[in-house]
Structure 1
Amino acid sequence: MKPKKVPGIPSQVKGGFHDTESIHKIHNNQEIDSKFDILKEKFFDINKWGDYCKQGSIEFTLCDSSGNVVHRIPQIGDYIKILLAKISNPKIEDYQWVQIDMIDKSNPDRLMIQCRPSKLPGNNFAGKTIHFYAAGSSSTFVISKGKDYIKMAIYGRNESPNKNTDFLSSIKNSFIALGGMAGSSKIQWQCLADGLIGEK
């Protein structure tokens, strides 16, 4: 299966990929705008994303460019730290860090947030990528609406293991990334997409 060619989504060059989509059909056209407005509120409230994935224990936290937790609409340059499993008193290395490098609001019917694996906030010119995928990978989150539907989608591209780290972490990243490319991360992203769209 080949990756979908979606406007605004990076081209697939190497590594794994996924196209995760959830569509909610709406037969009453008058409800589309109101339901899309609700979806937009969920979409831009990143700190609550984990609440919508009932089947998993994933946690998302929006941070500013200095790494401080913030409760606002995301901005380009912000970070999202992701905890993939419930851990008591998690340490920095227990999180996966990504940085928002694109937010597109130019089309009122289609909104996008794109992230890439990153170094720790404040470490732009030093340090190692704190994510199991390499810095060249991307995750693009997209919400849209049509004449009879609203849609939440997540597109992963160029997902390769992060080896820009110490030896043991490199091995761990390879195992996690291979599991992700084999489908485990697809399940988590589907859970999030379904939860945000309100289908499950």
Structure 2
Amino acid sequence: MKPKKVPGIPSQVKGGFHDTESIQKIQDSQEIDLKFNILKEKFFDINKWGNYCKETPTEFTLCDSSGETVQRLPQIGDYIKILLTKINNPKPEDYQWVQIDMIDKSNPDRLMIQCRPSKLPGNNFAGKTVHFYAAGSSSTFVISKGKDYIKMAIYGRNESPNKNTGFLNSIKNTFIALGGMAGSSKIQWQCLADGMIGAK
């Protein structure tokens, strides 16, 4: 199976990939516009993403360039910290960190947010990537509408284990990343996409 060629999505060069899509068919054009506007509100409220997938509880938190939690629309250069499992009093290193490097609103019918694994915020010149995937990986979140549907998609590209870390973390990241490339992250992303789109 080959990755889809989707405009705006990085080319697949090496490692794993996934194409996760959820589509809701709608016949009435006014209903399409209404539901797409609701989807846009969900899409840009990253702090609430975790509410849309109860089966695989994951916490998403939007942070500014210094790593402080913010309650606003995302901006290029912001970070998203992701907690995959419930931890009491988690430290910054317990999260998976990604940075938003692209937000595309040029087409009102197709909106995109792209993220890449990152270092901890506030230190651009030192430190190591704090994510189980290597820095060359990407996740692109896309919502769109057509004449009879609304859709949310998540496209993962070039997903390789992050080995640029300590020995034990390198082993841990390899196991987590291999699990993700084998399908567990696809299940998680599918749950999020279905939950946001309202698919059953």
TM-score, with length taken from structure 1: 0.99
Aligned to 1:27: 27
SS at match of 2:142: strand
* Structure 2 residue 124 is the aligned partner of structure 1 residue 124: yes
Aligned to 1:89: 89
Q: Deviations over 1:156-175 (max 9, x none)?
A: 00000001100000000000
Q: Deviations over 1:131-182 (max 9, x none)?
A: 0000000000000000000000000000000011000000000000000000
SS at match of 1:56: coil
Identity of aligned residues (%): 88
Structure-2 separation of matches of 1:169 and 1:30: 50
Q: Deviations over 1:47-100 (max 9, x none)?
A: 000000111110000000010000000000000000001111111221000000
Structure-2 separation of matches of 1:114 and 1:40: 15
Structure-2 separation of matches of 1:75 and 1:29: 30
Q: Deviations over 1:20-41 (max 9, x none)?
A: 0000000112211111000000
Unaligned runs of 5+ in 2: none
Aligned to 1:40: 40
Structure-2 separation of matches of 1:145 and 1:56: 26
Unaligned runs of 5+ in 1: none
Structure-1 separation of matches of 2:53 and 2:138: 21
TM-score, with length taken from structure 2: 0.99
Structure-1 separation of matches of 2:25 and 2:73: 27
Aligned to 2:77: 77
Aligned to 1:108: 108
Q: CA RMSD in A?
A: 0.6
Count of residue correspondences: 200
Residue type matched to 1:192 in 2?
A: L
Aligned to 1:199: 199
Structure-2 separation of matches of 1:125 and 1:25: 47
Structure-2 separation of matches of 1:25 and 1:126: 47
Structure 1 residue runs of 4+, over 4 Å off?
none
Structure-2 separation of matches of 1:189 and 1:148: 23
Aligned to 1:152: 152
